[in-house]
Amino acid sequence: MFNKILIANRGEIALRVLRACKELGIETVAVHSTADANAMHVRLADESVCIGPPAARDSYLNMPEILAACEITGADAVHPGYGFLSENARFAEILSAHNIAFIGPSAEHIRIMGDKIEAKATARRLGIPVVPGSDGAVTNDEDAHRIGAEIGYPVLVKAAAGGGGRGMRVARSEEEMSSALSAARSEAKNAFGDDSVYIEKYLGKPRHIEIQILGDGKGNAIHIGERDCSLQRRHQKVWEEALSPALNQEQRDRIGSICANAMAELKYSGVGTIEFLYENGEFYFIEMNTRLQVEHPVTEMITGIDLVNEQIKVASGATLTIQQSDVTFNGHAIECRINAENPSTFAPSPGRITYYHPPGGLGVRVDSGVYQGYMIPPNYDSLIGKLIVHGRTRVECLMRLRRCLDEFVVDGIQTTIPLFRGLIENQDIANGLYDIHWLEKYLATNPELPD
């Protein structure tokens, strides 16, 4: 087992990883930018190292500084959290060249899944159902039109290097194809420095359902159920639940074992998430994330499995100790992403938290690095915390969530809490009847959000 883990991240996820390390008896090193000197992950870590100025490219993305921090502190492993360097194959390679473990899958698996065209081909080869579309990159209008005619409109043009919903364009008819192609290519070029795009059938009313997997790199892999992340704004998840209100046990077992078998065959190591769109009883692979997800706590709440603990153990070379038959699902969990944003316009709202009172009680978990008096810097993602609630049934979970949202007080800045107070009163949400477009439509009706 590792002696000392350096956590190459910030905010709530740095704290989440730190907690797992402490429970394993492993020493922790926090790294931070000058803007984060007073952050909670820095305060709670055994040691901390300042790695640069506020801009992420100079600090949390600065590989030489992070490597130097490992050398100075003698850390023997790095946990990358999510975002930043978590899906950077080069970073994983550089660490291993320095005899430092990267807590995540092999550089090769990160690379394969980071290229969506290669990921899709790999998924297909491993028996995972994929969205119908082009076999590889589409470089000219002629091919694009031929594929459009083959799979039928509407289609989606997507960036191979895509992420965060960027580099995607819908073409509803043949006439829209050329402009969708050039728009997606130029957006992809700007965002990712790579203009490769591919084409996929555009699904009209799908749900986003993803499968959590865990492998040990030795050919053992299990699935840990699904999460339903259909409530999205601009392709960004806002609310996640486990299990999905749309699946029954038979469907769950079927797609789960397809994913687990595929990961066993790949000899995948660590946690990962296989994302699908789900429509009319069919699953369509869209991508795989080779890291811990923001929404992993809903899975932890219904299974009692500490995903970060398992992730660290397999990274240290341990064989998987959990069998598929050990994984059982208990009740229901929902996560709300609390962002420092105006809840109607979603404009960022950094600044000082003047009063902070998180909810508590049975079945309640708040993962956050903020505290009263904390100054939220303007330099990073606006996620400041996650409220995760568990109940024995979905109804109990919703009632508990409403109670928690009432208790939650964050003063001094604006947050997305009022958005969730509105959602919890909605009949479609109560019934679990929503697809990936539902939230955008709801927001377009300008709902009056409670304070």
Question: How far is 242 from 329, CA to CA, in rounded Å?
Answer: 9
SS (H, E, C) 101-168: EECCCCHHHHHHHHCHHHHHHHHHHCCCCECCECCCCCCCHHHHHHHHHHHCCCEEEEECCCCCCCCE
**How far apart, in whole angstroms, are the C-alpha atoms of residue 298 and residue 333?**
5
Output the smallest distance, CB 279 to ligand ADP, in A.
9
Helix (H, G, I), strand (E, B) or coil at 284: strand
Q: At which residue do the structure tokens 């600044």 appear?
A: 351
In this complex, which beta carbon is closest to ligand ADP, that of residue 143 or of residue 275?
A: 275
Identify the residue whose tokens are 């959590």. Answer: 212
DSSP for 245-273?
A: TT--HHHHHHHHHHHHHHHHHHT-EEEEE
Provide φ and ψ at 278, rounded to 5°. Answer: -130, 120
Among residues 200 and 216, whose Cβ is nearest to ligand ADP? 200
Beta strands 27-33; 4-7: pairing state? parallel
List the catalytic residues: 291
Minimum gap (Å) between residue 286 Cβ and ligand ADP: 4
Site for ligand ADP, rule CB under 6 A = 131, 156, 162-165, 200-203, 206, 208, 232, 235, 275, 277, 286-287, 436
CB of 336 to ligand ADP, least distance (A): 18
Write down the least CB distance from residue 108 to ligand ADP, Å: 20
Strand partners, 252: none
- Which residues neighbour 105 within 8 Å (Cβ) at sequence distance 6 or greater? 217, 268, 269, 270, 272, 290
Rounded Cα distance, 5 and 316, in Å: 11
CB 285, min distance to ligand ADP, A = 9
Given the complex with ligand ADP, which of 42 and 180 has the nearer CB atom?
Answer: 180
CB of 334 to ligand ADP, least distance (A): 18
Kindly tell me the sign of the dihedral angle through the C-alpha atoms of 145, 148, 152, 154: negative
One-letter amino acid for residue 239 of the chain = W
Whole-angstrom Cα distance, residue 155 to residue 67?
A: 43
